[in-house]
Structure 1
């Protein structure tokens, strides 16, 4: 049976004496789609008694002040560099204004919802969580919910093509979910893929070999990338972490992907013998899974890469739910949550979080509603302000996959940036391949946001690139948008273990945990020298481009074009280049 037994409206909410609804009758559209997001199609009407786990994000009172603080503590030339905020200090910046809370509560009461008994709140009070039947949400948001089907996976979700709010609430409510956000489920893409066949055993180097950044790396690494290849290529072979009591790295996983502990041991015995026996805790968020059966290629790639490179630094895998069936709640048979939103809310509620977190998932930016994108990106700024580096893969479609037509009804052909890669408060990682020298890998995602403005920390580097580019690809991208990637690393022919067997994997999913691991080692180095974690990385990286290995050849075709071409300095294929750990150590130590 498609729909399981559902709670009734009466059991989901405690009805209270309502303020007249007429007070909130003047609606204005908050967000609307011109057509169903790519990959999704209308299936049926949503049952009126289906229960939605509604999340209301209130406008944060001092979010712009928090962003200014973030840039100050991330600027190596500022006197406040490294002075990260505590959990409580961040929450003070983002708590909503009292008048926002009062007005939204009045609106809820007008619909018979008791704010005291029916709502749970985030620690800062900027998120309200409640369970509401579709019939009532449709009245609250002046909309119609439907069941949509994802063509590829055939999964079903309850969403709406548009939603509205009373005009007097627009200045007080940032976003409401689930509404028009489709891409956070099966539409969300993991940025990895299996190569047709593993590399020949003769090319797989299992025994660690010495190497420093800039020195020759064995030619076998051209076709089979192992932990030893990465250590040699980026200069971490001889570094031994010592601040393991205070330092850690996290890996964010979605789409029912989880890392297999037995496969990790097989991998370590083969490729990092000194780390054999290393384990990692799994934190399950929003119904995330960890059954240890049918291991995920993406998850295994992430955890095997990070443990192999950072041992004995503690690793944590975050398994975040958000793909049907929604096992954690029998009253919600189809998914009603957006994983990025759920994941970052969980992270911000923790007192202690890892110093660096790697995420190898993304969506086409145009499939993400503006209100949702801004809300999530602002949350990432909060994480950065607390001293954690957030890294995201840039995607595996070059400048865009498919026909690259816009979804606003105009069907205009444009390069298609990715989100969260396009958020200005994360560090985005592109891909390279080959050694001696490294070159850009053709699928490396890169480009310019059509949502977020270009931040000051990268303005000079991007201007230099655009000047050299001239009129190439003119009109296909937003020259004033946030440009990405910021850095890059190897992204093809990674040798990992899946189900007990060695597989060859590619994608910027490999690049992201690689760079994240280098950052974790840099955090270890700073902590062991009495300094703070690096936190938000971009201002430091753009101020010190010579601390990375510049990649000057290769391109990222897409959208029926040759895309962009790597060149000296920053470019939207490989960013500033790949890590050079010894040089980055010098930069990290010099920073306050």
Structure 2
């Protein structure tokens, strides 16, 4: 009898330990939309044999430790300040728990998918990419994929309105993609715009490296050039001493290519001392570099990063991932979001730029929560390695359109932008004018996803107290607040196809201006035997706060309101203000 009980107990333990005892059919929804996301329409069903590059993001077992260390190395008052993590250290902290790996691989094998045949694994093993047919993905995720058409951009993508995972895997998996994220980078590309009715001034301010520092001339009110920006931000006369000691990275998508001939025209016309300087291009996931097809966005980015920071090296990352749709295709086409491809590619490199600038963004609510959190975590990993990540704050003030929520309740609410709302990036708003004021479209507000980080508690609490009941109920008072700082954002002279045009938008050089200034301060620090600035936010909200020109006029209207007014100190229209290089050089160099 005793032996019988032992046998029963042993068998029970075997069954519990056996992968076959797992309830892979006990499913729970991971994410779903109540309706097709705005701007998209259903087109057709994809072929069941169409191949998807399915990417699975597992939970990093020590993500909390990584974030703790990120704040330690970014806090100027901490003993570990500036002791950034290596790739190997970030990979180790990014790794999933062995139980997560075992559970995910057992689930894949249950569906006939061999995890050993993954076409890509991240350095930490937290991301795995598998090439599988749509029919298999639908069975694994208890979903139906469709081909959806974006009416404005003409993009076609394969996505689902919901997906599920076995309950057991919800504690192991952050994200599976492509699934419910419908974002199109073409739709996100509204952060810069050509001013067709504005002619660039024939008296545009040209840089003279031998000229003494001076206030920007009147022409800078109508045509902004690198010389104007250097006058605005007190940089005139400074040249990098150690340019080869760092690198600036620019993220590019949508077959947007910088044109080297246009860059030389720009330099010849506006920065003659930098003639001949060029940049390198890194191709990611089928990215291209077509010199016969210059893009406004790419030329904007490159010309003003170079204009602010030459001769510090610049790398333009051209990321593919928006293939033409072929209805009967059974061949593999990349269906992943190129945004995610870019971040994972950079993290896989042994050396990375010290400063990154990206001009894209979209409303938080249009991005699934699991996607927002996963991408924000990737930015934490990137900043932990000592990089500064800059994003534009958007061009819709506190929100564009009717500002209705898409959660089924249809409430009017301010619409924060992502990735600007991620607490591990530095968001840059916009100003305008010789005496700088908030430009009306400057994005700013409070995240509905991410809690307010401690580094901005004092500054934001002070603003909210002054704001009182203004806009009450329209925003999340406890959310991560942005922008963090600002710069000029309109009437920039840019060369495209050999012709000078005027461009505006918060991606129109406010981000690139700040990227250049950060790189210049890095150069000063390197000359003084110090490390690069890395994650800026804990520093600028403490030691660096007096290095900015406080913007106290204007607001960022939207959602049928006047938005947030600029005030003394930090505000959600212009952040801490615009940079003063001479002051920052003394404070931080």
Q: Shorter chain as normaliser: what TM range?
A: over 0.9
How many angstroms apart in 2 are the aligned matches of 1:139 and 1:117? 19
Partner of 1:581: 581
Query: 1:442-453 to 2 correspondence within 5 Å?
Result: 442-453=440-451
Retained in 1: the 8 A contact 2:156–2:324?
no
State how 1:217-366 maps to structure 2 within 5 Å: 217-325=216-324, 335-366=334-365
Contact in 2 for aligned 1:199/1:493 (Cα 8 Å): no
Q: CA deviation at 1:217?
A: 1.8
Q: Kindly tell me: are residues 333 and 402 of structure 1, through their superposed partners in 2, closer, same or farther at Cα, counting changes over 3 Å?
A: farther
Residue of structure 2 in register with 1:95 after alignment: 95
Contact 1:85–1:387 (8 Å) recurs in 2: yes
Listed one character per residue, the Cα deviations across residues 363-383 of structure 1 (whole Å, up to 9, x for unaligned) are 111111111111110010011
Structure 2 residues not aligned, in runs of 5+ = 1-17
Work out which of the two has the higher radius of gyration on C-alpha atoms and give 1 or 2.
2
Output the CA distance in 2 between the equivalents of 1:333 and 1:190. 30
C-alpha distance 208-332 of structure 1, shift in aligned 2 (>3 A): farther
The one-character-per-residue Cα deviations of 1:505-541 (angstroms, maximum 9, x if unpaired) are 0011121011011001111111111111110000100
Match of 1:46 in 2: 46
The change in CA–CA distance for 1:345 and 1:190 in structure 2 (over 3 A counts) is farther
Contact 1:184 1:340 in 2 (8 A): no
SS in 2 for 1:283: strand
Shift of 1:333: 7.3
Distance 1:135 1:331 in 2: 12
Q: Residues 200 and 500 of structure 2 are in contact (CA less than 8 Å); yes or no, is this contact kept in structure 1? A: no
In 2: Cα distance, 1:355 partner to 1:494 partner: 25
Instruction: Give the conservation status (yes or no) of the 8 Å contact 1:392–1:420.
Output: yes
Q: 1:331, 1:300 → 2: CA distance?
A: 36
Q: Distance in 2 between matches of 1:77 and 1:176?
A: 39
Report if the CA contact (8 A) 1:365-1:417 is conserved: yes
Contact 2:52/2:332, CA 8 A, preserved across alignment: no
Pairwise CA distance, 1:23:
3.4
Note the 1:454-465 alignment, pairs <5 A: 454-465=452-463
CA distance in structure 1 between the partners assigned to 2:333 and 2:503 by the alignment: 31
Q: Which SS does the other structure have where 1:158 is aligned?
A: strand
**Contact 2:389–2:535 (CA under 8 A) maintained in structure 1:** yes
TM-score (norm 1): 0.93
Aligned to 2:202: 202
Aligned to 1:552: 552
Q: Provide TM-score, normalisation by structure 2.
A: 0.94
How far apart are 1:326 and its partner, in Å? Answer: 8.0
CA distance in 2, matches of 1:404, 1:332: 40
Once residues 84 and 563 of structure 1 are traced to their aligned partners in structure 2, the CA distance between those partners, rounded to angstroms, is 38
Contact 2:207 2:226 survives alignment (8 Å): no
CA change 1:333–1:271 in 2 (3 A) is farther
1:382-401 mapped onto 2 (5 Å cutoff): 382-401=381-400
- 2: distance between equivalents of 1:188 and 1:226? 25
Instruction: Tell me the CA shift for residue 50 of structure 1.
Output: 1.1
Distance in 2 separating the partners of 1:304 and 1:150 = 31
Number of aligned pairs? 567
Matches within 5 A, 1:103-114: 103-114=103-114
Distance 1:237 1:331 in 2: 57
Q: Which residue of 1 aligns with 2:510?
A: 511
Could you tell me how far 1:335 is from its partner in structure 2? 5.0
Partner of 1:564: 564
CA contact (8 A) 1:157 1:335 kept: no
Aligned to 2:7: none
Secondary structure class of the residue paired with 1:483? strand
Distance between the aligned counterparts of 2:421 and 2:515, measured in 1? Answer: 18
Q: 1:14 corresponds to which residue?
A: none
Stretches of structure 1 that go unaligned for 5 or more consecutive residues are: 1-17
Q: Which residue of 2 aligns with 1:133?
A: 133
In 2, Cα distance between equivalents of 1:326 and 1:421: 31
Shift of 1:120: 2.9
Alignment correspondent of 1:11: none
Deviation for aligned residue 1:197: 3.2
| Aligned counterparts of 1:472 and 1:189: Cα–Cα separation in 2 | 31
Q: 1:502 aligns with which of 500, 506, 510?
A: 500
Q: Against the structure 1 CA distance between its residues 279 and 373, is the aligned structure 2 distance closer, same or farther, given a 3 Å change threshold?
A: same
**Shift of residue 201, structure 1, vs aligned partner:** 3.4
CA 364–129 in structure 1, closer or farther in 2 if over 3 Å, else same? same
Change (3 A) 1:193 1:122: same
- Please say which of residues 38-47 and 410-419 is displaced more in the overlay: 38-47
**CA RMSD across the alignment:** 1.7
Q: Specify the alignment match of 1:12 in structure 2.
A: none
Q: After superposition, what is the alpha-carbon deviation per residue over 1:435-473, rounded to whole angstroms, capped at 9, x for unaligned?
A: 1x2111111000110000000000110111111111111
Greater displacement, 340-349 / 185-194:
185-194
